[in-house]
Amino acid sequence: MPEVALEGQESLKASRVLCVGAGGLGSPVALYLAAAGVGTLGIVDFDVVDSTNLQRQIIHTSADVGRPKVESAAEKVRAINPHVEVESFKTSLSSDNALEIVSGFDIIVDGTDNFATRYLVNDACVLSGKTYVYASVFRFEGQATVFAAPDGPCYRCLYPEPPPPGMVPSCAEGGVLGVLPGLLGVIQATEAIKLILGSGTSLVGRLLLVDALEMSFREVKLRKNPDCPVCGEDPTLHELIDYEEFCGTRGEERVESSGIPEIQPEELHARLDKGDDILLLDVREQHEREICRLPGQFIPLGDLPERVHELDSSRLIVAYCKVGARSAKAVELLRRIGYRRVYNLAGGINAWAERVDPSLPRY
Amino acid sequence: MIRVVMPAHLRTLARISGEVTLEVSGAVTQRSVLDALEERYPVLRGTIRDHATKQRRPFIRFFACEEDRSLDPPDEPLPAAVVSGKEPFLVVGAIAGG
């Protein structure tokens, strides 16, 4: 293409792009940037491949389950383009390492899955003067833009504060259409390539809103916030902070259950085996019960306030959901209205399936 | 008829799908639209605006006709295209999945 030509291909070869996260968004980003001929691709991820990732994290295969994601991703990148220099960081991006890692790259592509890391990536990019290619997904919807402070708005200009823990469900709780991060990740890869080539009109100052269910793409304008604490006219944030503290979280799921009495799957199993009278309360939705269930009572969390009288308060109740966040809310609700012997199944039915009954499917 | 588009998690909370259409009497402003929305779906109270102050929550933005209206005064009239129903009033929320 004349828009790329030899000069553009050389620019791609000379470029250094960091992909934060090798998950749903990071998969297509890494694959397409490798195919495009990006010279150096950094990949940050602390996690290992899980079978539940495979519906959307297409850089990994079933043979990779249990392997570090950076290892699996680097292998696929090299298979597509052996000339790509891959720099793997098998670690969590944190306030301690972010500036150092980010400093080695020209463009940062955010494929993370939680608010704390997104604020961390934003602040590290603003403080380092790096361009931040952003996308996020939930269920059937996605958002994408390019943050390029100081000239354009940054993530904090758009969302100055994160939602309180539990207010916006994570993808683990609410689910995500498998192809959606693919769609948004390809948009991120496109923006990164355009930035490298210096071609076209980037998404700086524009937020793309994608609704895969309606297959609609809306575009809205973003404004720079002159009072932004990190990129505004009089910034007050000059170094990285504790982002889990800022977001009020220690991981979205874990936070949900903080302070809520829990029971571990192994302990519950032992007590049930012993014959203890325990009522298992499933607070998920019907479609989730069709995947897997434990014997007991079923009241979706949304119906619980109206149907709480159906529960026998004399019994010990263990509430569960997919990963433990919704059931933590159920436990909190029940305790607030007087149920004393109510516990949350730590890690939900997925943890039960992983640690007690591997015959149950996880999702 | 005012059209309002909300994020997925708020639609789930209100148990609705697609966009919402509202009848708003009097001036069509952010405040009157959100008042009508919360009257129809009381469960949304406190999710878009603070319960007490009625101020927009910082992880929510309002857009109309492609423009960011989040910092506009709540009683400022919304664009004619929103008033006529040609364009929706967008409530956009932060999401973090990846």
Q: pLDDT, tens digit, for every residue of A41-88?
A: 999 999 999 998 999 999 999 999 999 999 999 999 999 999 999 999
Per-residue confidence (pLDDT) for residue A166, from 0 to 100: 67
pLDDT tier at A27, thresholds 50, 70, 90: very high
Per-residue pLDDT for chain B (98 aa), expressed as one digit of tens each?
999 999 998 998 888 989 999 999 899 999 999 999 999 998 898 899 988 899 999 999 999 999 999 999 999 999 999 999 999 999 999 999 99
> What is the nearest CA distance from B91 to chain A, expressed in angstroms?
11
Q: What per-residue confidence (pLDDT) applies to A165?
A: 73
Cα Rg of chain A (Å, integer): 22
A-chain residues near B96 (CB < 8 A): 112-115, 118, 136, 138, 162, 168, 170, 252
Can you give the residue ranges of every domain in chain A?
A: 5-254, 257-355
Residue B7 placed within a domain: yes
Residue found under tokens 């799908």: B17
Mean pLDDT over all residues of chain A? 93
Closest CA to A323 of A250, A248, A253, A252: A253
Backbone angles phi, psi at A252, to 5 degrees: -55, -40
Of A166, A154, A75, whose CA–CA distance to A118 is shortest?
A: A154
pTM above 0.90, yes or no: no
A252 pLDDT above the threshold of 70? no
- Give the pLDDT of residue A256: 43
Residue A251 has pLDDT above 60, yes or no: no
Q: Does A282 touch chain B (CB under 8 A)?
A: no
Q: What percentage of chain A reaches a pLDDT higher than 70?
A: 96
A113 and chain B in contact, CB less than 8 A: yes
Residue B98 lies in a domain: no
Q: Decide: residue A47, CB within 10 A, 0-12 exposed, 13-18 middle, 19+ buried.
A: middle
Active-site residue list of A:
171, 321
Q: Are the Cβ atoms of B9 and A219 closer than 8 angstroms?
A: no
Q: What is the C-alpha separation between B42 and A138, in angstroms, rounded?
A: 24
pLDDT of A247 reads: 87
Cβ–Cβ contacts within 10 Å for residue B43, how many?
A: 12
Q: Report the distance separating Cα A310 and Cα B41, nearest Å.
A: 26
> Has residue B33 been placed in a domain?
yes
- The two structure tokens encoding residue A83: 């000339």
From the CB of residue A68, how many other CB atoms can be counted at a distance below 10 Å? 17
Q: How far is B94 from chain A (nearest CA, A)?
A: 7
Question: Which residue range(s) make up the domain with B70?
Answer: 2-93
Q: Does A209 touch chain B (CB under 8 A)?
A: yes
Residue B11 lies in a domain: yes
pLDDT in tens, A155-201: 999 999 998 776 777 777 778 899 999 999 999 999 999 999 999 99
Contacts of A181 in chain B (CB under 8 A): 97-98
Q: Is the pLDDT of residue A259 over 80?
A: no
- In this predicted structure, what is the pLDDT of residue A313? 81
Domain total in chain B = 1
> Do residue A181 and residue B97 have CB atoms under 8 angstroms apart?
yes
Residue of A nearest to B65 (CA): A220
Helix (H, G, I), strand (E, B) or coil at A277: coil
| CATH assignment of the domain containing B22 | 3.10.20.30
Q: Which residue of B has its CA nearest to A169?
A: B9
Asked whether residue B28 is assigned to any structural domain, the reply reads: yes
Q: Which residues of B touch A252 (CB under 8 A)?
A: 96
**Chain B residues in contact with chain A using a Cβ-Cβ cutoff of 8 Å:** 7-9, 12, 15, 18, 47, 57-59, 61, 63, 66-68, 71, 90, 92-98
Q: Is residue A140 pLDDT above 90, yes or no? A: yes
Structural tokens at position B97: 């999945």
Q: Which of A256, A228, A252, A254 is nearest to A122 (CA)?
A: A228
Residues A5-254, CATH architecture: 3-Layer(aba) Sandwich (3.40)
Q: Is residue B38 part of a domain?
A: yes
Looking from the CA of B72 toward its CB, the CA atoms found within 13 Å total 17
Give the ipTM: 0.95
Q: What is the pLDDT of residue A253?
A: 41
Q: How far apart are CA A31 and CA A19, in angstroms?
A: 11
**3-class DSSP state of A167:** coil
Q: What is the mean pLDDT of residues A245-252?
A: 66
CATH number of this structure's domain A257-355: 3.40.250.10
A65 vs A329: CA distance, rounded Å: 31
State the Cα–Cα distance between residues A202 and A337, nearest whole angstrom: 52
How confident is residue A255, by pLDDT bands cut at 50, 70 and 90?
very low
Per-residue confidence (pLDDT) for residue A258, from 0 to 100: 58
